[in-house]
Amino acid sequence: MARSISLRLAAVYTAAFALAVATLGATILAATRSALSDQFESRIGAESAALVQEYRTEGLDGVLQAVRERDRTPGSLDYGLTGPAGPLAGRLAGERTATGWSAVQVRRRGGRSETVRLLTVDLPDGYRLLIGDDLGRIQALDGVVLRGFALALLGVVVLGAAGGYGLSRDLRRRFAAISGVAEAIIDGDMGRRVPVRGAGDDLDHLALTFNRMLDRIAALMVSLRQVSNDIAHDLRTPLTRLRQRLEAGLQAGDEDQRRQAMERALDDLDAILETFAGLLRIAEVEGGARRVGFRPLDLAAAARSVVDSFAPSAEEGRRALTFHGSGPAVIEGDAGLLTQMLVNLVENGLRHTPPGSAVRVGVERQDGCVTLVVTDDGPGVPPDERTRLFDRFYRLERSRSTPGSGLGLSLAAAVARAHGAEIVLGDAGPGLEARIDFAAGP
């Protein structure tokens, strides 16, 4: 419990509020006391001024009468008049105090004693006037203020403790839910998600982010599993064939047959290694580590160069490969990767069309956009199969007989994605169109 953040926070806040209440109480008490004391002194000062005035106009008898009269009035101040010979009138007459403010203990009826604060004023001819009042009222008010604030302090502490406990329990429950989900996932239940309360508060945001992260990880794991399955499945066939060839070589009677078997086995092995290289390359491109090597380059020139390199081979296969462009088209990218993407797209066009077909590569720059289009006039691909062409190892039924790893378009798509673009497959009517829109470079 001592380690609960919420509880610790609640304790700190309660202490801070209690301190604030106490400070407020002390300040109000001091202010009240000062105000009451000022009021007290000015009241007594005014009274003494009135009686001194009485003495001046009416003489000693006037004052004597006034003091006696007031002394009899219940609830009045305390008075005393002393002459050179001794006390003359009033409850305070017997007190021997110096001129000015002082405090004395006075015995009241019923025997209780009270502190009276009084002002002693000298009158002519050795007479002295004393006027005072007990401090009971100020002290009573002190008590009221103190009691009030003590109660408030108690309230703050009780509410703080209760609130802290409640808050802490609520937060602990929600944190426990999150760590419970994490524990479940550690144990292998990838489907669990953190409950979202719907209040839109910080913890809900945390839960949503956490869930999004889990979705992403789950998707990656699915794709990883898919890739592993694909690899296992697609390598089993060539590996089996390789094994058969080696066995045949071992059993072969004459040297020539053995040699032939070995050479074929090497070819098979090279094909397998090529598939591996393709997979690793896709992984590397998808990892995005190469983006640092991006430079401005002319995609039109790169495409023209690829077309020039492949046109003679295309011609031998009785296919026409042509380039169409109207000038430089600069984008930011990796020349090596883009060349490989172009090669894969061109080869895809050349390999999946019958002799006599035409493959066109076009690069156009328009409105901050560089568009690469590779089209063929072959049989095309049904719309529902087009996106699957990018899956690793996916091959159309009719292409199964032609050699190929089924990785060419996956790699091309990965390269396009690494450049912030996407390959869109469409109908060239007839044939297949692959279109990629790149952001134009500087």
In sequence order, the 6+-apart residues with CB closer than 8 A to the CB of 222 are none
Shortest distance (Å) from residue 283 CB to other proteins: 8
Interface stretch with other proteins, choices 66-74, 93-101, 243-251, 289-297 (CB under 8 A): 289-297
**123 closest CA partner among 76, 54, 70:** 54
Contacting other proteins (CB under 8 A), which of 277, 326, 366, 383? 277
Contacting other proteins (CB under 8 A), which of 88, 171, 301, 343? 343
Cα–Cα separations (whole angstroms), residue 231 to 280, 342, 397: 12, 25, 19
Q: Which is nearer to other proteins, 75 or 312 (CB)?
A: 312
What span, in angstroms and rounded, lies between the C-alpha atoms of 348 and 410? 11
Amino acid found at 311: A
Q: How much is the CA Rg of the chain, to the nearest whole Å?
A: 51
Contacting other proteins (CB under 8 A), which of 122, 247, 274, 385? 274
DSSP state of 423: E
What span, in angstroms and rounded, lies between the C-alpha atoms of 393 and 388? 10
DSSP string, 290-325: GGGG-EEEEHHHHHHHHHHHHHHHHHHTT-EEEEEE
- The reply to whether 279 sits near other proteins by the rule CB under 8 A is yes
**423 closest CA partner among 329, 344, 334:** 344
Contacting other proteins (CB under 8 A), which of 86, 188, 403, 442? 403
Interface stretch with other proteins, choices 151-159, 170-178, 182-190, 276-284 (CB under 8 A): 276-284
What span, in angstroms and rounded, lies between the C-alpha atoms of 354 and 379? 8
Interface stretch with other proteins, choices 131-139, 192-200, 284-292, 382-390 (CB under 8 A): 284-292
- The reply to whether 290 sits near other proteins by the rule CB under 8 A is yes
- The reply to whether 8 sits near other proteins by the rule CB under 8 A is no
In sequence order, the 6+-apart residues with CB closer than 8 A to the CB of 169 are none
Interface stretch with other proteins, choices 76-84, 209-217, 402-410, 416-424 (CB under 8 A): 402-410
- Binding map of other proteins across residues 303-342, x = CB under 8 A, - = no contact: -----xxx-xxx-x------------------xx--xx--
Shortest distance (Å) from residue 405 CB to other proteins: 9
Binding residues with other proteins: total (CB under 8 A): 31
Contact at 8 Å (CB) between 72 and 89?
no
Q: Which is nearer to other proteins, 93 or 359 (CB)?
A: 359
Handedness of CA 428, 434, 437, 442 (dihedral sign): negative
Contact at 8 Å (CB) between 290 and 333?
no
Shortest distance (Å) from residue 259 CB to other proteins: 11
Name the residues that contact other proteins, by CB under 8 A: 266, 273-274, 276-277, 279-281, 283-284, 289-290, 293, 308-310, 312-314, 316, 335-336, 339-340, 343, 347, 350-351, 403-404, 408
